[in-house]
Amino acid sequence: MNASIVTGSCFCGAVRFEIELPTLFCGHCHCSMCRRPHGAAFVTWTAVPPERFRITAGEDDLVRFQSSAQGTRSFCRTCGSQMFCQTEPEVIDVALAALHGPIDRVPGAHWYYDSRAPWTVVSDDLPKLGGASGMEPL
């Protein structure tokens, strides 16, 4: 297999996909729109442009819903795994936890840190960003 391909899937395996490295970024998002659907303290995202992203199985099992004015999120209709978020045409956010292997970088920042759940304790030294865009220095 091509070393720059990383495969991924939902929990039940119905939806399978692959991305091709390099990725565009990687970081932890603390916004409530990520926390609620994923049922998590925060969501670690990476991203690739559409030409480096392919659904390889279960396209019909993937449910896309409009989660904001500009954004869609996608999940498996059987197991509910949230996998993708797209807010601009050229960037597909991929939940790092859905990938089966390592990518080309480690998480680089906390986004929307000022929106974090009050019970979330972060003890790393990564930049903690927030404000209106979620990516401004706090």
Binding of Zn ion at residue 109 (CB under 5 A)? Answer: no
Q: Is-contact 27 45, C-beta < 8 A?
A: yes
Q: Please tell me the count of residues contacting Zn ion according to CB under 5 A.
A: 9
- β-strand partners of 27: 45
Minimum distance from residue 69 beta carbon to Zn ion (Å): 15
Element (H, E) at 73: strand 72-76
Minimum distance from residue 77 beta carbon to Zn ion (Å): 8
Report the residue number, 34 or 96, with the smaller CB distance to Zn ion.
34
Binding of Zn ion at residue 97 (CB under 5 A)? Answer: no
What is the spatial distance between Cα 67 and Cα 70, in angstroms, rounded to a whole number?
8
What is the spatial distance between Cα 106 and Cα 72, in angstroms, rounded to a whole number?
25
Minimum distance from residue 1 beta carbon to Zn ion (Å): 22
Binding of Zn ion at residue 34 (CB under 5 A)? Answer: yes
Quote the distance between the C-alpha of residue 73 and its chain's center.
10
Binding of Zn ion at residue 99 (CB under 5 A)? Answer: no
Binding of Zn ion at residue 10 (CB under 5 A)? Answer: yes
Q: Is-contact 58 76, C-beta < 8 A?
A: yes
Task: Fill in the DSSP letter of residue 132.
Answer: T
- Interacting residues with Zn ion between 66 and 95 (CB under 5 A): 76, 78-79
List interacting residues with Zn ion (CB under 5 A).
10, 12, 14, 29, 31, 34, 76, 78-79
